Amino acid sequence: MTLVSKLPHRIAGPSSVYNLARYSRSQKKVNLNRTFANSANSTPLLKTPLYDLHLAHGASMHPFAGFSMPITYETQSIIESNKWVRSQAGLFDVSHMVQHIFTGKDVTAFLERITPTDVRELAPNSGVYSMFLNNNGGIVDDIIITKHTDDRYYIVTNAACRAGDLAFLEEQKKLHGLSDISHEILEEWGLLALQGPRAAEALQGMTDFDLTQLKFGNAGLVPFKGSKYWVSRSGYTGEDGFEISVPKEETLNFAEHLLGESNSVVKLAGLGVRDTLRLEAGLCLYSQDLDETTTPIQASLSWVVGKRRRLEGGFNGYEVIAEELKNGTSRRRVGFLSDGPPAREGSKIYEETGVKLIGVVTSGLPSHTVGRNIAMGYIEKSFMKRGTEVLFDIRSRKRPGTVAKMPFVPTKYYR
């Protein structure tokens, strides 16, 4: 979902059940062959405030987490869009994400029960990557928490986890007996992610507010020509960038102004390229790389557990997580590099002789930026050292790969 210093695995990271289709590096366009959430559901798809704008720009729209969302645009292939975001700026519509406002004197205590974050010591107008945890330390959803004040928080959660998250939150409020909590969802609001090395330049042209005041993870109420929107310096690409929360009726105008005034810098970018960018940055995708059976420690996200929280506990799954912090886990999430056919979600991982099964790939694709195939997955801890040779089972053939450092592309957060 994400702000993070090491970095999140999402900020704004939406849950997904699709896989990037096969393509060769010589191709200018990428063939997409994906299964999207709700694709077989007869329920009418929801539309973001930018739906018509996407159509006007030639977007290929597909079902995603109950919404009709842009995957690609006719003017750019995924490879071309990836290059653009890495060198200029891309505007992503992530309005399908669920935006929450929590207020009340019990909110801080509540968040410290259901997340491992040191919410109490979080500075006002700052955000952090975190996660809702169940009683076994499993990840219910990965989220971004932004603290406005001690009794007001803005939280972004994954769209595909909405029903489960709401049930979880209601259950936890009753379980912990915390009553002074008000919860509002910003229904139909827009959420725009402007990402890339020229994102600040493009956004600065629309406001007199000095955006250099916002470092990575900071947020503020920024004026834009008569209106004020909450802006956080964060994203899901590994690049510098911002996420802007905008009321429904103002979202289209804001996006059009941004595209119009910066048309040589900013281009619309879809969910297809967002998947390649987040994997290059080593960021997780909920339901593929994270789930309720996986703890933050197994996911190599132990840094989300605050120092004070490690000592004091008091959050769901603390006993499990404290044991894993002390003695390690049987499996860990690591990165991989390979050549030839790419290892994708579900590919089995064997040790270098091909006899022992040691893990599974959760995300994988060819990276034009890296020039090789990249992947992440979970393997037994004795094989997680960088440089360890492994074999991927790809279409019933064993293909070589190597455990590698993540992120695969250096991050460029503004600090």
112 band by pLDDT with thresholds 50, 70 and 90 = very high
Tell me what pLDDT residue 259 has: 95
Tell me what pLDDT residue 43 has: 85
Query: Amino acid identity of 72?
Result: T
Nearest to 312 by CA among 127, 137, 112, 132: 112
**Residue 322 exposed, middle or buried by CB count within 10 Å (0-12, 13-18, 19+):** middle
Angle (CA) 188-109-300 rounded to 5° is 75
Query: Peptide bond before 407: cis, by omega within 30 degrees of 0?
Result: yes
Angle (CA) 163-299-286 rounded to 5° is 30
Ramachandran class of 12: left when φ > 0, alpha when ψ lies in -120 to 50, beta otherwise: left
Helices 78-87 and 271-280: crossing angle, nearest 10°? 60
Tokens of 48: 């973001």
Tokens of 176: 């912990």
* SS3 at position 130: strand
The mean pLDDT of the chain is 91
Backbone angles phi, psi at 14, to 5 degrees: -80, 150
pLDDT tens-digit map of 304-358? 999 999 999 999 999 999 999 999 999 999 999 999 999 999 999 999 999 999 9
Per-residue burial over 136-149, b if 16 or more Cβ lie within 10 Å, else e, is ebbbbbbbbbbbbe
Tell me what pLDDT residue 116 has: 98
List C-alpha distances in Å: 90 to 185, 218, 271, 363: 27, 20, 11, 23
Tokens of 380: 């037994």
Alpha helices in 36-106 (DSSP H): 51-56, 78-87
Backbone angles phi, psi at 216, to 5 degrees: -55, 125
Tell me what pLDDT residue 179 has: 87
What residue has token string 């004197």?
105
Report how far residue 221's alpha carbon sits from residue 200's, in angstroms, rounded to the nearest whole number.
16
- Tell me the CB-side half-sphere exposure of residue 401, using CA atoms within 13 A: 42
- Return the sign of the alpha-carbon dihedral for residues 138, 139, 140, 144: positive
Tell me what pLDDT residue 38 has: 40
Query: Amino acid identity of 73?
Result: Y
User: Is pLDDT above 60 for 250?
Assistant: yes
> Which residues, at least 6 apart from 5, have a Cβ–Cβ distance to it below 8 Å?
216, 217, 303, 413
- Return the sign of the alpha-carbon dihedral for residues 372, 378, 379, 382: positive
Tokens of 152: 């007001």
198 band by pLDDT with thresholds 50, 70 and 90 = very high
Per DSSP, what are the bridge partners of residue 114? none
Per DSSP, what are the bridge partners of residue 127? 146
Tell me what pLDDT residue 41 has: 58
For the segment 33-46, the average pLDDT, to the nearest whole number, is 59
Tell me what pLDDT residue 262 has: 60
